[in-house]
Amino acid sequence: MGLKGASGAEVGQLGDTQRRLDAVLNNASVSIILMDERQQCIYMNRAAEKLTGFTLDEVLSLDRPLHDIVHHTRPDGSHFPLAECAIDRAFPEHNQTQGEETFVHKDGSFYPVAFTASPIRDEASRTIGTIIEVRDIRDEKAARERQRLLIDELNHRVKNTLSAVQSIAYQSLKGADADARQAFEGRLVALSGAHNVLTKEGWTGASLYTAIETAIAAYQAPGRFELDGVDHPLAPKMVVSLSMVIHELATNAVKYGALSVPDGLVRIEWQVRRQAAGGERLAMRWEEVGGPQVEVPTRKGFGTRLLERQVSMEFDGSIQLQYRPSGLVCQMDLGLPHPGRADVAISETATGTAS
């Protein structure tokens, strides 16, 4: 029903509804902008006026696409054509778009924003405009940059510390047993490799598959490892510990197990399961095949203690070593610290570079 045929009461109700809507939008902290089918702004709330520096009346008087008012130039000074703008694609493509862009303020300065642009449809489902939510992310970008600088400094210091430890160990172990010196240096290399993986991910964690692949990289050869499992995000602490565990198992396999002979291979299988009480657990099996006959060692070395005590206690789990004649089998059941990232599905057999 048009306003022409509406009663006074109905017109009054419409006015009340409009005032309520204006009150809601003008009190919102996020910027709200409406565009018509010509990509021209027909409404912006107070947050949007504050963000852009333009009042709604100023924008309306310019009678141009909103893009040409607040998004016309890239930070390098080059022209940014409307046809390349992700925000304006929501209307012709009839789909919601999200992302980050850089707007131009009324005073000519640039500022980063996060946006969500969604098509507006009429009762016949025809797209008649676009609604845009825009958020100023200057503080977020600055915080991310500060975090990046701090992480870079941390990585630099960690590498210097590992290099210093390696140098001290080399000097201190000059007269020591060659195997002991080599084992110590190998563990430092494994620790450094885990740190390199975490550095690439900004110390937010890394995937389980990446942690395994990095730990076995030094022992890779075609057909020596078979990996089977669903990839999963790991917290930084688990990345380091699991890398060290895999390194110890691989080192042992090179000396005494399946990797000490040309035809031997190692199968690594894993599953991540959710618990009814919350949280997740990792079940992993390391199985050596085709190596020399295995005998139970007469004493427990560092690697065994690392596996059976530190890691299992640290992650509320258990690690069992079975010295079968056909080859060593290591079964792990460990609690996973929450990494705060989504799963990624992968199931792959690793040959060569395991890629």
Query: Tens-of-pLDDT digits for all 355 residues of the chain?
Result: 444 444 455 445 545 556 676 776 777 788 999 999 899 999 999 999 999 999 999 999 999 999 999 999 999 999 999 889 988 888 888 888 999 999 999 999 999 999 999 988 888 888 888 999 999 999 999 988 887 787 777 777 777 777 777 677 767 777 667 777 777 778 888 888 888 888 887 778 889 999 999 889 888 777 799 999 999 999 988 998 898 889 989 998 998 899 999 889 999 999 999 887 778 999 999 999 999 988 888 777 777 777 777 677 788 888 888 998 889 999 999 999 876 443 333 333 333 333 3
Q: Which helix (H) or strand (E) holds 270?
A: strand 265-274
The number of distinct structural domains making up the chain is 3
What is the structure's pLDDT at 17? 58
Residue 79 lies in a domain: yes
The H-or-E segment that residue 207 falls in is: strand 206-207
Do the beta carbons of residue 234 and residue 211 sit within 8 Å? yes
Q: What pLDDT is recorded for position 76?
A: 92
Q: Check whether residue 40 and residue 102 sit in a common domain.
A: yes
- pLDDT at position 61 is 95
- pLDDT score for 2: 45
Residues 289 and 186 in one domain: no
Which alpha helices (H) appear in 173-263, and where do they start and end? 178-200, 208-216, 236-255
Instruction: Give me the pLDDT at residue 231, please.
Output: 93
Coil/strand/helix, residue 262? coil
List the beta bridge partners of residue 131. 34, 118
Q: Quickly count: other Cβ atoms within 10 Å of residue 314's Cβ.
A: 14
Question: Identity (one letter) of the amino acid at 52?
Answer: T
Together in a domain, 352 and 251: yes
The answer to whether position 106 is within a domain reads: yes
Residue 63 domain-assigned?
Answer: yes
- DSSP for 98-129? EEEEEEE-TTS-EEEEEEEEEEEE-TT--EEE
Looking at the structure, do residues 237 and 348 belong to the same domain, yes or no? yes
pLDDT recorded at residue 13: 52
Residues 93 and 28 in one domain: yes
pLDDT of residue 344: 36
Check residue 157 and give its pLDDT: 77
First to last CA, the chain: 64
The model's pTM: 0.59
The arrangement of strands across the sheet holding 327-336 comes to 225-228, 265-274, 280-289, 327-336, 318-324
Say if residue 25 is in the same domain as residue 150.
Answer: no
Count the Cβ atoms, other than its own, within 10 Å of residue 225.
24
Residue 116 neighbours by CB under 8 Å, 6+ apart: 96, 97, 98, 132, 133
Instruction: For residue 314, give the nearest of 334, 297, 289, 338 by alpha carbon.
Output: 334
CATH of the domain at 319: 3.30.565.10
Report pLDDT for 278.
79
Residue ranges making up the domain that contains 299:
204-355
Query: Please, are residues 242 and 215 in contact by the beta-carbon 8 Å criterion?
Result: yes
| Helices 208-216 and 236-255, axial angle in degrees (round to 10) | 30
189 and 230 in a common domain: no
User: Do residues 148 and 249 share a domain?
Assistant: no
DSSP SS3 for 77: coil
Q: Tell me: do 152 and 131 sit in the same domain.
A: no
Q: Is residue 213 domain-shared with residue 344, that is, in the same domain?
A: yes
Element (H, E) at 132: strand 127-136
